[in-house]
Structures are given as structure tokens and as C-alpha cells.
């Protein structure tokens, strides 16, 4: 692939990923706030997202195999179209929006999101010339960081749309924008991007690389540690116990995710100044240890020193977000670096299957633990998940020890 083609494909991938992420963030906040307003309890709301995460697990595994056989452009466009269908399903009368119906729409949305993410992350690997790890690190970080910043803007957009044009019209507006992006991507993205030189068998979906298996297991616990208190417990805690408005919750979470994304984008620049090298397996363990301190500190301040609950929650999520963003950036780079170029979607799909499984675990526990034991119990579970992530990360190779084809 020429340099010009690589830049063009990267641009198309980024535009598709950005637009999808903006609408996906808005959709999550719209569903969370709208259904809380009409009387759903935290566990019911968690159930609305179960199929979203569950089908993400399956999609990443099967989607990586399909992309290797059909091309990343196909899975990217199918993801966009599937999200249009999911949004259109929610443009119905409120009486139709039962838990089962919304779970079905969220199942399609989960399939769409992970087809889009897997295709975009795999596509970046193929847009960078072989051996240019520095550029790969920067491009992955820009894609990941900007995605999370836009997801934060999507949270704010979701709260704003709910307060202005309402739930149904919001679905129609977002579906229309995504349909236009799908048409543009179909017209200009390289047709055989990511298609393997061989026909991978179904069993090839499972990774045979020990470093990818370790990194995937670490990702499972890492994202479980975030979502166990961030997805359901935190917004409901702020609204129900602290008296925040829907717009206030949406704005706060939006600013949090925007800042999280900016840190992911800027960290590679700052780290290169001090280390002059890309992160490796040791970086995963060290930054995991830094993250583990934070939920333990939150518990100590709340339960031991009896600090104000609102102050502890707000400051805790801010500092947790900073360190978590660095952890996520390192992970996102390493999986793309570890993955083989021929069949990159297989390795990336397997990895993001673990990511989706961790989010699923965190989402279910967020609603269940909060409803049964309260907000601080969610923080305690988060601490356990971070420790597990560190344990399974031990043994990831340093750069000098790497023998994997990149």
C-alpha cells in the first residue's frame, strides 16, 4: 500500500469511527437517562445493556474471522448499517419500548459497535508501513483518544437531545447521519482492505499467541474495573443520591470521557519525550499498579476518613480516569503491535472479544452490586478487578524480548 493510499484509508476509517462513536455515546446516555426517568430501576437499566455487551463478545470473535475472509471494508460498512437499523427500531411509540424490545435493539447496536471498532483498529495496522512502530503508536493513540473524546461529547449530546427534541426524534437524526457516512465509506474505502492471503478456518478465531492471550485477559479485568462503577452505579448515584439533574449527569460524564480521550491522545507524545521508546509488557504492569491505588484510596477516604460522598465520587472518578486512560492507551497500542499483519482482524477481534466480555461483566455487576450493596461496594469490586488485571499481565514481553511478527 502506498503512503497516499494509507493516509486516505486511515482518514476514511477515522471519519467512520468518529461518527459512529458520537452517536453511540449519545445513544447510551439517551437510553440510560430516558428509562430512568420513566421509572426503570438500576438493575432493569443494566439489563438493557446486557445484550449490547453480550453480542459484542460474539461479534468481535466472529467479526475478526469474517473480516479476514471478506475484507475490513465490508465489516465496517455492515457495522454502520446495523446501527442505522438499531436506531430506527427505537423510533416507535413509548408503549412499545419494553425491556425485551430495547434489549433486542441494543443487541444490534452491540454488533454494530464492535464490527466498527474491530474494523477500525485492524485497519490502522494496515494503513502504516511495516516496521514504523512510532507512527503506528501515534495513529492508534489518535484514533483511540479522539474516539473517547467524541464518546464524551456524545454523552453530552444525548442529554441535550433528550431535553430538546426528545427520544424518538433523536433516534431519527442519528440514523440519518450514519446512513450518509455508510454511503461515503462504501464509495471510497479500499475494497480488499484486510483480506487475508489465505482462507482462515473457523478455529483460527482463537488466538494461539501467549502474549495476545495474556493481554486479552488483562483487558477483560481492566474494563470490568471501570464499568462496574462507571456504567450504571455512578450516574444513578449522582442523580438519585446526590440530586443531580439529567443534564448535569450527562455533562459531567461527557467532560470525563472527553478528558479521558485527550489524555489518550497526548500521552504518547509526553511519554516519548522521557522514554524515547514505545510501551511494552512492563508498562502494562507498572501502570496497572498505579491504577490499583485509586479505588483503594477512594474506599479509605469514604469509609475510613468519612469524607463527603459527593466529593469522593467526583474526585475519585477524575483521578481514576486519568490513570485508566494511560492504561487503555498502552493496551490499545500493544494489541495492534502484537497482531500479525496477515489476518490482523483475527488477533484484534479476539482481543476485543475479551474487552466486550469485561464490559459485560462490569455492566451486570454495576447494576446488581449497586442495587444490593451501594456505591462503595462497586468501588471495592473495581479494586479486585484491577489487581486481577495486573496478575495476568505479569509475563508480557518487553520490547527487547519480542519475537512476534509485527
Q: Residue 390 sits in a domain of what CATH number?
A: 1.20.1250.20
Give the CA diameter of the chain: 61
Report the alpha-carbon distance of residue 326 to residue 294 in Å, rounded. Answer: 14
pLDDT at 220: 94
Q: How far is CA 262 from CA 128, 148, 178, 258, 330, in A?
A: 22, 8, 24, 6, 14
pLDDT by residue, tens only, the chain of 406 residues: 445 565 677 777 778 888 888 899 899 888 888 887 777 777 777 778 788 878 877 787 777 777 677 777 788 888 899 999 999 999 988 778 888 888 889 889 988 988 887 777 777 766 666 666 667 777 777 777 777 778 878 888 888 888 889 888 999 999 999 999 888 877 776 665 655 554 655 555 555 677 888 898 999 999 999 999 888 888 888 888 888 887 788 788 878 888 887 888 787 777 766 665 678 888 899 999 999 999 999 999 988 888 888 889 889 989 998 999 999 889 888 887 787 766 666 777 788 888 888 988 998 898 889 988 999 999 999 999 999 999 999 988 876 444 444 4
Residue 196 lies in a domain: no
Of the candidates 324, 322, 330, 320, the residue with the CA atom closest to the CA atom of residue 283:
330
Residue 199 lies in a domain: no
Residue 233 lies in a domain: yes
Residue 73 lies in a domain: yes
pLDDT at 403: 41
pLDDT at 87: 94
Residue 149 lies in a domain: yes
Report the alpha-carbon distance of residue 159 to residue 190 in Å, rounded. Answer: 36
Q: Are 32 and 162 in contact (CB under 8 A)?
A: no
Residue 108 lies in a domain: yes
Q: How many domains, in total, are found in the chain?
A: 1
Q: Does pTM surpass 0.85?
A: no
CB atoms within 10 A of CB 152: 24
Residue 288 lies in a domain: yes
Residue 195 lies in a domain: no
Question: In this structure, is the dihedral angle defined by the CA atoms of residues 287, 292, 294 and 295, taken in order, positive or negative?
Answer: positive
CB atoms within 10 A of CB 210: 12
Domain that residue 122 falls in: 3-190+204-401
Amino acid at each position: 500500500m502506498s503512503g497516499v493510499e494509507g493516509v486516505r484509508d486511515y482518514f476514511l476509517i477515522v471519519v467512520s469511527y468518529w461518527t459512529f462513536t458520537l452517536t453511540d455515546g449519545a445513544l447510551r446516555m439517551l437510553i440510560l437517562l430516558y428509562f430512568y426517568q420513566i421509572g426503570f430501576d438500576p438493575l432493569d437499566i443494566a439489563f438493557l445493556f446486557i445484550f449490547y455487551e453480550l453480542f459484542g463478545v460474539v461479534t468481535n470473535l466472529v467479526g475478526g474471522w469474517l473480516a479476514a475472509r471478506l475484507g475490513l471494508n465490508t465489516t465496517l460498512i455492515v457495522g454502520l448499517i446495523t446501527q442505522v437499523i438499531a436506531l430506527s427500531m427505537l423510533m416507535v411509540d413509548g408503549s412499545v419500548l419494553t425491556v425485551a424490545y430495547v434489549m433486542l435493539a441494543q443487541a444490534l447496536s452491540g454488533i454494530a459497535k464492535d464490527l466498527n471498532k474491530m474494523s477500525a483498529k485492524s485497519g490502522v495496522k494496515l494503513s502504516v508501513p511495516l516496521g514504523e512502530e512510532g507512527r503506528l503508536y501515534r495513529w492508534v493513540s489518535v484514533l483511540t483518544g479522539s474516539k473517547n473524546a467524541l464518546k464524551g461529547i456524545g454523552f453530552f449530546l444525548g442529554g441535550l437531545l433528550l431535553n430538546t427534541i426528545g427520544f424518538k426524534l433523536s433516534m431519527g437524526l442519528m440514523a440519518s447521519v450514519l446512513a450518509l457516512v455508510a454511503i461515503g465509506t462504501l464509495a471510497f474505502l479500499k475494497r480488499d482492505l484486510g483480506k487475508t492471503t489465505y482462507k482462515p478456518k473457523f478455529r483460527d478465531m482463537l488466538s494461539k499467541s501467549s502474549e495476545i492471550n495474556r493481554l486479552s485477559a488483562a483487558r477483560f479485568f481492566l474494563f470490568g474495573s471501570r464499568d462496574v462503577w462507571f456504567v450504571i452505579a455512578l450516574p444513578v448515584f449522582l442523580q438519585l443520591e446526590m440530586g443531580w439533574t439529567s443534564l448535569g449527569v450527562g455533562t459531567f460524564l461527557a467532560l470525563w470521557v472527553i478528558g479521558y480521550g485527550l489524555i489518550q491522545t497526548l500521552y504518547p507524545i509526553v511519554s516519548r519525550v522521557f522514554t524515547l521508546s514505545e510501551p511494552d509488557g512492563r508498562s502494562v504492569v507498572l501502570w496497572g499498579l498505579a491504577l490499583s491505588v485509586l479505588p483503594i484510596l477512594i474506599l479509605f477516604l469514604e469509609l475510613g476518613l468519612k469524607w463527603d460522598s459527593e466529593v469522593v465520587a467526583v474526585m475519585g472518578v477524575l483521578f481514576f480516569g486519568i490513570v485508566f486512560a494511560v492504561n487503555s492507551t498502552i493496551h490499545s497500542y500493544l494489541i495492534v503491535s502484537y497482531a500479525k499483519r496477515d489476518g490482523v482482524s483475527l488477533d484484534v477481534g479476539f482481543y476485543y472479544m475479551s474487552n466486550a466480555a469485561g464490559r459485560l461483566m462490569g455492566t451486570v455487576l454495576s447494576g446488581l452490586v449497586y442495587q444490593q450493596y451501594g456505591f462503595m461496594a462497586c468501588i471495592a469490586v473495581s479494586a479486585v478487578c484491577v489487581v486481577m488485571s495486573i496478575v495476568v499481565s505479569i509475563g508480557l514481553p518487553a520490547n527487547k524480548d519480542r519475537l512476534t511478527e509485527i
